[in-house]
């Protein structure tokens, strides 16, 4: 599995967190939303850097009836060895832990593409949410999915996962492989 961190940025203005808190402070509903999102965050302790910093710590797989698999990032490349082996027609969920520092990350989105024999067979894009900076890591578990079944579904797959925000910043890109097997 190859892991790359890249910063692709669209031209959109980023505002320091302290300034975001001050904006629209007369709007009661916006103020409540910001208080709920930020909690007891000490704004004086926040870095003045405008770009949020999102660091992914682990990626994992949860399967009912099996032990959870958790891999620490960055992953070491093991060419030719699948990162995950899944049984056909099984239920699983992906799990990520990450930290957010410096500023709010708005609209963090999971984007995944899967290929079999060089043909794109699945493309998924799921908005994970908006997150405030904090010391404790966030944990996000994706909705359950089911692996396909049948002789055509079995075999090796390659995939590319990205995590991007509303501003077009890409915080992590992971290239990996997996297999779907009968047993």
CB atoms within 10 A of CB 19: 10
Q: What is the pTM for the complete model shown? A: 0.74
Residue with tokens 């009968």: 182
Query: How much is the pLDDT for 148?
Result: 94
CB atoms within 10 A of CB 91: 13
Percent of the chain with pLDDT over 90: 55
Strand partners, 158: 115, 177
**Mean of the per-residue pLDDT values of the chain:** 83
Tokens standing for residue 94 = 């992906």
Query: How much is the pLDDT for 56?
Result: 96
Q: Give burial (CB, 10 Å; 0-12/13-18/19+) of 80.
A: exposed
Series of mean pLDDT values for 10-residue runs along the chain (183 residues): 44 58 70 65 56 89 91 79 89 95 91 97 96 93 95 95 93 93 90
Phi, psi of 34 (to 5 degrees): -65, -40
Query: How much is the pLDDT for 40?
Result: 55
């Amino acid at each position: 599995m190859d892991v790359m961190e890249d910063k692709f940025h669209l031209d959109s203005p980023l505002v320091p967190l302290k300034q975001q808190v001050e904006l629209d402070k007369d709007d009661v509903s916006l103020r409540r939303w910001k208080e709920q999102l930020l909690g007891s965050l000490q704004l004086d302790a926040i870095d003045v850097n405008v770009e949020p910093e999102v660091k992914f710590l682990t990626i994992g797989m949860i399967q009912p009836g099996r032990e959870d698999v958790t891999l620490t990032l960055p992953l070491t490349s093991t060419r030719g060895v699948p990162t995950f082996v899944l049984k056909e027609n099984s239920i699983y969920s992906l799990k990520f832990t990450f930290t957010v520092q410096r500023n709010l990350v708005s609209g963090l989105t999971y984007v995944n593409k899967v290929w079999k024999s060089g043909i794109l067979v699945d493309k998924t894009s799921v908005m994970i949410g908006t997150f405030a900076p904090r010391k404790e890591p966030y944990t996000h578990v994706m909705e359950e999915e089911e692996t396909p079944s049948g002789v055509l579904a079995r075999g090796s797959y390659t995939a590319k996962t990205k995590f991007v925000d509303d501003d077009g910043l890409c915080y992590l890109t992971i290239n990996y492989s997996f297999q779907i097997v009968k047993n």
